[in-house]
Amino acid sequence: MDAKVHALLNQQINKEFYSAYLYLEFSNYFEDVGLDGFANWYMIQAQEERDHAMLFYTYLQNESQKVTLEAIDKPDKVFNEHMDVLRAGLEHEEYVTSLINDIYAAAYEVRDFRTMQFLDWFVKEQGEEETNAHDLITKMELFGTDPKSLYMLNQELAARVYSAPSLVL
């Protein structure tokens, strides 16, 4: 495996674990303000991000590549209102998309088709993640100021259940 591709894949493990930490922070925020449905939604997001990290970890191991684990940064954002959290979520997903694109571009440059195929799932997943973040912002903009509507949106998010990724390595 090309050294640059290997380094980027290894770094992505850390980035995915950071994403899990960040979403746990979001969940904490919503738990503190009494929106347990939102807290649930972000708790599940955190589980997904941990799984994504493990997919990268397993891929590198399956390719006989060394995995180097680094310290995970503490989330440093302060939220003053619900929309701050939702906007930070969208911003973060756009950032993760850029990271996946950078890995894909590096793999493409060296004709690492196996890594490109592995990343195809993540490219699709990031499209879904960005759409979900956009949709949550749109719903909050439409309904968030009305207590009854906010309650219903919270109930909708409380119904979300965890489902492990279906990527086969």
pLDDT in tens, 20-46: 999 999 999 999 999 999 999 999 999
Residue 167 has pLDDT above 70, yes or no: no
The residue behind tokens 């759409």 is 131
Among the residue ranges 66-75, 119-128, 138-147, the one predicted with the least confidence is 138-147
Q: State the Cα–Cα distance between residues 96 and 74, nearest whole angstrom.
A: 17
Q: What is the pLDDT of residues 72-121, one digit of tens each?
A: 999 988 899 999 999 999 999 999 999 999 999 999 999 999 999 999 99
What's the length of the chain? 169
The residue behind tokens 């589980």 is 47
